[in-house]
């Protein structure tokens, strides 16, 4: 059973080679991300970002604003069970990932975040549009 879990019988060398040559077709870097799928809604004077982060504690999530980019990071560390005699064959429940979103020149105090039921809700205010100056220009 250990070998079945660590090396599946349906491994196909050709299929793996094709994934390397055509990553977008096989779900590579141009496809939707596996983690932190995000929906963004426009609400009157703000945007609501709904970021899926299931199975993560709030303490493992970090939200940072720098140079107009809002970066959401997750670092879920492996829990140490203290018992070194655990018979794990494979462990995948510890990971780290991050995504960045351009939000413009927003103040960090104006951004609100709440994590509930595996969804991080981030509210970002809309930037006021700067209208170009209009009027007559005096000719010298």
Per-residue pLDDT tens listing for the chain (140 residues): 344 444 455 555 556 555 655 555 555 554 555 678 999 999 989 999 999 999 889 999 999 999 999 999 999 887 666 556 677 787 777 778 899 999 989 999 999 999 999 999 999 998 877 777 777 878 88
Same structural domain, 23 and 63: no
Domain range spanning residue 65?
Answer: 35-80+87-125
Domain tally, the chain: 2
Same structural domain, 52 and 96: yes
Same structural domain, 39 and 27: no
Question: Is 133 part of a structural domain of the chain?
Answer: no
What global pTM score does this model have?
Answer: 0.65
Question: Is 135 part of a structural domain of the chain?
Answer: no
72 contact partners, CB below 8 Å, separation of at least 6: 36, 51, 53, 61, 62, 63, 98, 99, 100, 101, 120, 122
pLDDT of 94 reads 77
CA gap 78, 39 in Å, rounded: 28
Question: Is 112 part of a structural domain of the chain?
Answer: yes
Question: Is 6 part of a structural domain of the chain?
Answer: yes
pLDDT of 78 reads 75
| Nearest of 32, 105, 116, 37 to residue 72 by alpha carbon | 37
pLDDT of 83 reads 57
């Amino acid at each position: 059973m250990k070998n079945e879990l660590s090396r599946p019988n349906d491994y196909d060398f050709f299929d793996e080679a094709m994934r390397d040559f055509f990553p977008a077709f096989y779900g590579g870097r141009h496809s939707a991300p596996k983690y932190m799928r995000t929906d963004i809604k426009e609400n009157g004077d703000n945007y609501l970002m709904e970021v899926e982060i299931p199975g993560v504690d709030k303490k493992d999530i970090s939200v940072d604003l720098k140079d107009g980019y809002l970066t959401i990071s997750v670092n879920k560390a492996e829990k140490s069970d203290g018992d070194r005699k655990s018979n794990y064959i494979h462990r995948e429940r510890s990971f780290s990932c991050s995504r960045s979103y351009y939000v413009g020149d927003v103040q960090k105090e104006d951004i609100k975040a709440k994590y509930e039921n595996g969804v991080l809700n981030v509210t970002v205010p809309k930037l006021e549009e700067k209208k170009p100056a209009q009027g007559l220009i005096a000719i010298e």
